[in-house]
């Protein structure tokens, strides 16, 4: 059934076996970086007893990465591990660089570092992994960064989480840096869809290495301050932000940005300390002017779906509000002791013009306050 050939090669010593694995196999399909690096460690750290430490530790790394609920893999992990500590190199050129730097003297240190960093790597991609209740704000920023589908900041995120776990920086400093990354990419990526010429990736890799090389909390603080300053300088200006922000929306016929809309409404609710009877994850998006108005003059899909017409509410009240009028909805929310947003309590009616004005006000508040990058 299969046209297979098995070749038996008898070798004089173990070194030749490692050499054959590294070179002969690459004549066909390229070996994964993971396999090559593991082979290099096995060659440098040969077991002197029945316990194969390389096999055990490498299995720990694979288990940590492969059991993650996030879409991560070991090749990407090793690439970002290296970029967070040393010079960034293309993935296809990574192994020769790794092989040259890791030798018998430092192999064990590097292997142990890979074991620890695999946990940090999983934690930045899977915010439910290893984060305690007191660290919730850090996990929240990481969730947002994953929502934006970002890869560029990964070396910096890995370096920051490592520095925190090594107690080089405090939780307050970690949160400040993660929020700066989250807020920058909200404007740069999620809203304006700006494109980087490559400078953004270089900025993140450079910061990751400098933070890794910092010797104490004072030096780490200096690097983080300089990094946040660069993010602030690269942030899109308000005019560009406002135009793009007004184009974000959600209706049953246009669900592409539903995740982003939920995230934005949640941040607004948190900023204004709105109270809900259920957790944020159980809230639904309510259209103040109902979707049933779409297509009736003067309500368009864009207006009904605009951020200025949306707010979060629990499913029970969402069903009760249904297609009721604006004034009835406000009264029901007030009678139900819900946190009624001020823009609703100040309005005596609800029109497309008021949706537009509220969307503009949200854009201004988002840029200046909620997603600002403070010094």
pLDDT tens column, 41-77: 999 998 766 457 899 999 999 999 999 999 999 999 9
Categorize the per-residue pLDDT at 186 as very low, low, confident or very high, splitting at 50, 70 and 90: very high
pLDDT value at 5 more than 80: no
In terms of domains, do 217 and 326 share one?
A: no
Q: Is residue 304 assigned to a domain?
A: yes
* Boundary residue ending a domain (234, 267, 284): 234
In terms of domains, do 171 and 75 share one?
A: yes
pLDDT value at 10 more than 90: no
pLDDT > 70 in the chain, percent: 91
Instruction: Quote the number of domains for the chain.
Output: 2
| Nearest Cα to Cα of residue 35 among 21, 24, 56, 45 | 21
User: Among 29-43, 103-117, 236-250, where is mean pLDDT lowest?
Assistant: 29-43
* pLDDT one-digit tens code per residue, 119-146: 999 999 999 999 999 999 999 999 999 9
In terms of domains, do 120 and 268 share one?
A: no
Domain hosting 18: range is: 14-234
In terms of domains, do 19 and 64 share one?
A: yes
- Whether the CA torsion 340, 345, 346, 352 is positive or negative: it is positive
Greatest distance between any 2 Cα atoms in the chain? 90
* pLDDT one-digit tens code per residue, 218-263: 999 999 999 999 999 999 999 999 999 999 999 999 999 999 999 9
Element spanning 310, H or E: strand 310-314
pLDDT at 185: 98
Q: Is residue 258 assigned to a domain?
A: yes
* pLDDT one-digit tens code per residue, 265-324: 999 999 999 988 889 989 999 999 999 999 999 999 999 999 999 999 999 999 999 899
User: Among 20-24, 87-91, 226-230, 305-309, where is mean pLDDT lowest?
Assistant: 20-24
Q: Is residue 146 assigned to a domain?
A: yes
33-44 and 107-125 are packed helices; what angle lies between their axes, rounded to 10 degrees?
150
pLDDT > 90 in the chain, percent: 83
pLDDT value at 17 more than 70: no
Asked if residues 317 and 332 have their Cβ atoms less than 8 Å apart, the reply is: yes
| Nearest Cα to Cα of residue 42 among 113, 368, 34 | 34
Categorize the per-residue pLDDT at 8 as very low, low, confident or very high, splitting at 50, 70 and 90: low
Output the average pLDDT for the chain.
92
pLDDT at 31: 73
In terms of domains, do 34 and 165 share one?
A: yes
* Boundary residue ending a domain (184, 203, 234): 234
CB proximity list for 318: less than 8 A, separation 6 or greater: 284, 286
CA distance 253 to 366: 26
CA distance 155 to 205: 6
pLDDT at 241: 98
* Across 203-216, average pLDDT: 97
pLDDT value at 353 more than 80: yes
What is the CA 333 to chain-centroid distance, rounded?
A: 34
In terms of domains, do 212 and 290 share one?
A: no
Backbone angles phi, psi at 337, to 5 degrees: 60, 35
In terms of domains, do 201 and 266 share one?
A: no
pLDDT at 18: 46
Q: Is residue 105 assigned to a domain?
A: yes
Q: Is residue 2 assigned to a domain?
A: no
Count of beta carbons in the 10 Å neighbourhood of residue 56: 11
Q: Is residue 239 assigned to a domain?
A: no
* C-alpha angle 361-367-370 in degrees, rounded to nearest 5: 95
Q: Is residue 1 assigned to a domain?
A: no
pLDDT at 195: 80
pTM, to two decimals: 0.90
User: Among 33-47, 127-141, 154-168, where is mean pLDDT lowest?
Assistant: 33-47
In terms of domains, do 221 and 106 share one?
A: yes
Q: Is residue 246 assigned to a domain?
A: no
* Boundary residue ending a domain (176, 200, 234): 234
In terms of domains, do 156 and 270 share one?
A: no
In terms of domains, do 288 and 166 share one?
A: no
In terms of domains, do 312 and 215 share one?
A: no
pLDDT value at 23 more than 60: no
In terms of domains, do 96 and 165 share one?
A: yes
């Amino acid at each position: 059934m299969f046209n297979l050939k098995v070749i038996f090669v008898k070798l004089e010593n173990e070194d030749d076996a490692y050499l054959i694995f590294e070179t002969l196999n690459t004549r066909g399909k390229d070996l994964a970086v993971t396999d090559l690096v593991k082979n290099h460690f096995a060659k440098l750290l040969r077991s002197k007893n029945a316990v194969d430490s390389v096999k055990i530790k490498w299995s720990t790394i694979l288990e940590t990465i492969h059991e993650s609920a996030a879409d991560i893999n070991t090749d990407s992990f090793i690439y970002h591990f290296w970029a967070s500590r040393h010079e960034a190199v293309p993935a296809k050129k990574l192994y020769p660089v790794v092989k040259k730097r890791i030798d018998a003297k430092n192999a064990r240190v590097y292997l142990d570092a890979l074991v620890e960093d695999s946990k940090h790597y999983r934690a930045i991609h899977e915010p439910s992994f290893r984060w305690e209740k007191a660290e919730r704000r850090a996990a929240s920023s990481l969730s947002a960064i994953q929502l934006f589908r970002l890869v560029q900041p990964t070396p910096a995120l890995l370096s920051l989480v490592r520095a925190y776990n090594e107690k080089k920086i405090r939780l307050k400093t970690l949160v400040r840096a993660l929020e700066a990354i989250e807020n920058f990419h909200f404007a740069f990526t999620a809203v304006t869809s700006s494109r980087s010429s490559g400078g953004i990736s270089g900025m993140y890799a450079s910061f990751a290495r400098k933070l890794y090389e910092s010797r104490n909390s004072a030096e780490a603080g200096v690097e983080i301050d300089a990094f946040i300053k660069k993010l602030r300088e690269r942030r899109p200006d308000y005019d560009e932000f406002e135009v793009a922000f007004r184009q974000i929306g959600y209706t049953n016929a246009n669900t592409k940005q539903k995740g982003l809309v939920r995230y934005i409404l949640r941040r607004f609710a948190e900023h204004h300390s709105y109270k809900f009877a259920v957790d944020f994850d159980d809230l639904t998006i309510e259209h103040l002017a109902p979707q049933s108005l779409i297509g009736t003059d003067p309500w368009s899909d864009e207006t009904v779906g605009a951020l200025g017409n949306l707010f979060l509410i629990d499913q029970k009240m969402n069903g009760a509000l249904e297609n009721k009028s604006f004034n009835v909805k406000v009264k029901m929310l007030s009678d139900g002791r819900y946190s009624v947003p001020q823009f609703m309590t100040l309005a005596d009616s609800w029109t497309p013009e008021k949706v537009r004005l509220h969307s503009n006000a949200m854009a201004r508040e988002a840029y200046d306050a909620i997603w600002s990058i403070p010094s």
